[in-house]
């Protein structure tokens, strides 16, 4: 495995995630919606530290908007992406 350095490959990954997500979704469903690639607990931790994507609280749940989440990803918030051959 090695680090993906190609902006094109990263953009393809983000495009695939964007296609998989509904327009609005619950943060806790992110792991399932991303096929297990993005852990919802990691996003919750990032949000609690103040460096996560924007969200809206609905009672005990947190909602995310696809457009804002993908924009957050595109702004360099992907870490540990590795290509497997």
Residue by residue, what is the 3-state secondary structure of the chain? CEECCCHHHHHHHHHHHHHHCCCEEEHHHHHHHCCCCCCHHHHHHHHHHCCCCCCEEECCEEEEEHHHHHHHHHCCCCCCCEECC
**Is 90 exceeded by the pLDDT of residue 70?**
yes
Q: How confident is the model at residue 76 (pLDDT cuts 50, 70, 90)?
A: confident
Q: Among 69, 55, 61, which Cα is nearest to 22's?
A: 69
Share of the chain above pLDDT 70, in %: 82
Question: What pLDDT does 6 receive?
Answer: 66
Name the maximum alpha-carbon separation found in the chain.
43
The pLDDT value given to residue 78: 67
Residue 80 has pLDDT above 90, yes or no: no
Q: Does 59 score more than 90 pLDDT?
A: yes
Q: What is the pLDDT of residue 10?
A: 80
pLDDT in tens, 37-51: 889 999 999 999 999
Domain boundaries, the chain: 2-83
């Amino acid at each position: 495995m090695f680090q993906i350095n190609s902006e094109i490959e990263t953009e393809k990954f983000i495009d695939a995630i964007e296609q998989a997500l509904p327009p609005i979704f619950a943060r806790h469903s992110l792991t399932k919606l991303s096929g297990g690639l993005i852990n919802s607990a990691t996003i919750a931790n990032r949000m609690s530290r103040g460096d996560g994507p924007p969200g809206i609280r609905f009672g005990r749940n947190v909602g995310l908007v696809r457009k804002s989440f993908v924009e957050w990803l595109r702004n360099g918030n992907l870490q540990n992406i590795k290509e497997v051959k």
